[in-house]
Amino acid sequence: MTIQFYLVSFAIITSLLLLPLVPSMQAQNSTSNNAEQQRISLNPSEAIYNANNSQLVSAKNVSSVPYLVTEEHYVENGLLNNSVNVTNKETFVDTHISDKLQLGTGTGVIETSNGESITWVASGLGMVERDQWTFYTIYLFNSTNSQSLAVLNNTLAISNSTTGSGSPDYMWILK
């Protein structure tokens, strides 16, 4: 792999490590003054997507040297834009750096019940917080002709999920 890949991965992971410390992120347009700031809220009520159930379909060990590498396939049922029922089919390849840290990449597709779909790629970080695995993931969505999924066209999104918590997984668009 190239040094560029590692630098981009480091930047994403560093951002994800800092994310839990910030209740919301601010971005400022370079041509605007401080009064014209945009806020990206990480409030669950403002999430573009939430999934109330995630099912592990299959898992396998890919490698054990120098770190354990696993491949997991999941299916989530969720709600997009508080109105569209969707299924998110996910594949993640995770490198287990330690008993409390995982780095992963993923691919997947979000589908509606009438067959519309949009694909995505992702990079994320999982870590143990309060005795539960918490995952922070950045998604890059491709384009789609689907009207009901158009809100995701060519967007970046960030998600937060905690295993075993019983709470939904949330995703927010980064604008």
Domains and CATH numbers, the chain: 3-21+50-174 (2.40.160)
Find all residues with CB under 8 Å of 92, minimum gap 6, and list them: 71, 72, 74, 104, 105, 106, 122, 124
Q: Which residues in the chain show pLDDT less than 70?
A: 1-40
Instruction: Give CA separation, 123 vs 10, 131, 156, 167, in Å.
Output: 11, 23, 11, 22
pLDDT tens for each residue of 85-95: 999 999 999 99
pLDDT tens for each residue of 122-140: 999 999 988 899 999 999 9
Residue type, 31: T
Task: List the one residue out of 48, 24, 30 whose CA is nearest residue 139.
Answer: 48
